[in-house]
């Protein structure tokens, strides 16, 4: 259950920062290579945000 909460949080962060990103290929607004080229740093940053959240939760 906790994993699904973090997965949904991560996907909502991705959707908010990158409107072309979707987990379903038919709903993507941009080709994969365009997403990787244009949004590599925001994806990395959102990954760090989720990782920091997990570390904070574990340290409680």
pLDDT in tens, 2-60: 667 677 777 676 666 555 555 555 555 555 555 556 556 666 778 888 888 888 889 88
Q: What is the pLDDT of residue 45?
A: 77
All residues at 6 or more sequence positions from 9 whose CB lies less than 8 Å from its CB, including other chains: 50, 53
Q: How many CB atoms lie within 10 A of CB 21?
A: 20
- Domain coverage including residue 42: 2-59
All residues at 6 or more sequence positions from 54 whose CB lies less than 8 Å from its CB, including other chains: 6
Q: What is the pLDDT of residue 34?
A: 57
Q: What is the pLDDT of residue 57?
A: 87
pTM recorded for the entire structure: 0.34
Q: How many domains does the chain have?
A: 1
């Amino acid at each position: 259950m906790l994993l699904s909460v973090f997965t949904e949080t991560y996907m909502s962060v991705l959707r908010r920062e990158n409107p072309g990103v979707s987990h379903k290929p038919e709903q993507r607004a941009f080709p994969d290579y365009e997403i990787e080229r244009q949004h590599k740093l925001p994806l990395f940053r959102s990954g760090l945000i989720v990782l920091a959240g997990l570390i904070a939760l574990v340290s409680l």
